[in-house]
Amino acid sequence: MVDISEAAVGIEFGSTNIKAVLVSNAGDILAEGKHGWENSFQNGIWTYPEEEIIAGLQDCFRSLKEDAESRYGTPLKKVKAIGISGMMHGLLAFDREWKLLTPFRTWKNNNAEKAARELSELFRFNIPARYSIAHLYQTMIDREDFVPRIAHITTLSGYIHFLLTGRNVLGIGEASGIFPIDQKTRTYRKDFVELFDEILEKNGLPFRLLDILPSALLAGEEGGRLSEKGARLLDPEGDLVPGIPLCPPEGDAGTGMVATGSVKKRTGNISAGTSVFGMAVLEKDLSKAYPEIDVVTTPLGDPVAMVHCNNCAGEIDRWMGLFEEYNRLFGIEIPKDELYAKLFRCSLTGEKDCGGVLSYNYLSGENIARVKNGHPMLVRKTNGKLSLANLIRSELYSSVAGLRIGFEILEKEENVKIDSLFAQGGIFRTEGVMQEYLAAALNVPVSLRENASSGGPWGMALLAHSLFEKENGGLLPYLDNKISRGKKVVTVAPDPETARGFEKYAELYRQGLELERKASDIWEEK
């Protein structure tokens, strides 16, 4: 008999879906919920309206409740703990009454490049344009009228957590995407805070940085309790009881590390979805700053080198939509999952280097490739072979080609060692396809665990469970002893022929980036 009151809920706000899972202490998924959504481009900003954020949260939780009740015959009234995750970075700015001052600016926006460059030079530390501090500074550079009224800034997960608990806190991994973290003190870097406060003072602003930032908490520390108001917000039907503990909210990078069991030093992970990022938990700090590599932290505060690409599976989804449209035209009915699986497997019959077919999956700008605006492109050599297998293989290669740029720096410039690299995300659902391509792209064995396609919400639920693992040593022993032990792991080593093929593709990809940059200049979106 399953006792769902002893399970934890993990909710993650992704780019195209909000997902919720109910997870046992052993890591078994007991129920799931989902709400689809899309960002919108409004007044030059990629955003999700506030009302859609709340409506999506409620619909996702309602879906989870319905699934749980259908499986176990009892309403979902109480759970052991809750964890909230979301897309990292971006900017949510509020006044003293927590009124949103400007529409949510997501990580996808790259309009803060000037601010990012200036802060990177000032700190001598890489500050990407998607970091919250870069967005904040850009609003100051642009002299936006709401800036003097800012009393709080946070991320999407931090905002939802505040609505549920009344506490303005973040997990340290999520906080590291707002502002750099000191690895010794496990809080925001004091020297950088002081430098930024000087900027605030010169601009005549009435606040200082620490006044508006959320507090950073480590995994295992309680982030607050579900309030009466929060319970009614999450569950308007009124079944969910208040008082449930919440762990600190974490970003999708942190949940990816937890979901893949890659929190220890010399471990790494890849999380692939609308965007893709690769993480390597470092043994020591990098020798210098690299614009292609961000330094964030694990949910326990250890330094992590992060290679982030704005684009991954989004363009693949567009191509799959085209094939669905073709099927409808001829009255063919193929379930979506089957369509993806068939075409992914078809790619395995393509040429190792994609036969001169080259894809750029840039639906939005790509900082790692110095491409300002997204313009997906399909290019091929005149003597190339445009086959279905080569086309799909090229699109799949393209989804991880950007990662290779950053990982080459870690390997060649910093001699970073990775003992194990785990991957997670829906793109790996078709067995033996993207796992093989990723291993070839990074020239390292790639492993998948059970629940690899469950991704962030599952990792967030595990973080919620870790609240009760202090006596057993906390998060790391919990993942090792209760979650990883006995679970199926599939590891694929780099295939030499595929690796050579990807190398040829990657060289063509690098050469063709000028085409993408030129398209960005010609078709710049206003």
Instruction: For the chain, give the percent of residues with pLDDT over 90.
Output: 79
Tens-digit pLDDT profile for residues 352-389: 999 999 999 999 888 788 888 889 999 998 998 999 99
Average pLDDT in the chain:
93
Q: Is 115 in contact with 129 (CB distance < 8 Å)?
A: yes
Please determine, for residue 526, whether its predicted confidence score (pLDDT) is greater than 50: no
User: Helix, strand, or coil here: 68?
Assistant: helix
Residues 286-305 have a mean pLDDT of: 92
Please determine, for residue 124, whether its predicted confidence score (pLDDT) is greater than 70: yes
pLDDT band at 433 (very low <50, low <70, confident <90, very high): very high
pLDDT of residue 488: 81
pLDDT band at 453 (very low <50, low <70, confident <90, very high): low
Residues 1-18 have a mean pLDDT of: 93
Q: Shortest CA distance to 271 belongs to which of 460, 8, 62? A: 460
The DSSP code sequence of 164-184 is: HHS--EEEHHHHTTTS-EETT
Q: Shortest CA distance to 341 belongs to which of 391, 392, 299? A: 392
pLDDT band at 75 (very low <50, low <70, confident <90, very high): very high
Please determine, for residue 102, whether its predicted confidence score (pLDDT) is greater than 80: yes
pTM of the model: 0.83
pLDDT band at 451 (very low <50, low <70, confident <90, very high): low
Tens-digit pLDDT profile for residues 126-178: 999 989 999 999 999 999 999 999 999 999 999 999 999 999 999 999 999 99
Q: Which residue in the block uniquely carries the two structure tokens 């010609």?
A: 522
Expressed in angstroms, the distance from the first to the final Cα of the chain is 57
Please determine, for residue 496, whether its predicted confidence score (pLDDT) is greater than 50: yes
Q: Which domains does the chain have, with CATH numbers?
A: 1-86+222-260+455-486 (3.30.420.40), 89-154+179-212 (3.30.420.40), 314-450+495-522 (3.30.420.40)
The DSSP code sequence of 71-121 is: HHSS-----SEEEEEE--SSBEEE-TT--B-S--B-TT--TTHHHHHHHHH
pLDDT of residue 486: 63
pLDDT band at 398 (very low <50, low <70, confident <90, very high): very high
Residues 206-216 have a mean pLDDT of: 97
Please determine, for residue 101, whether its predicted confidence score (pLDDT) is greater than 80: yes
pLDDT of residue 454: 61
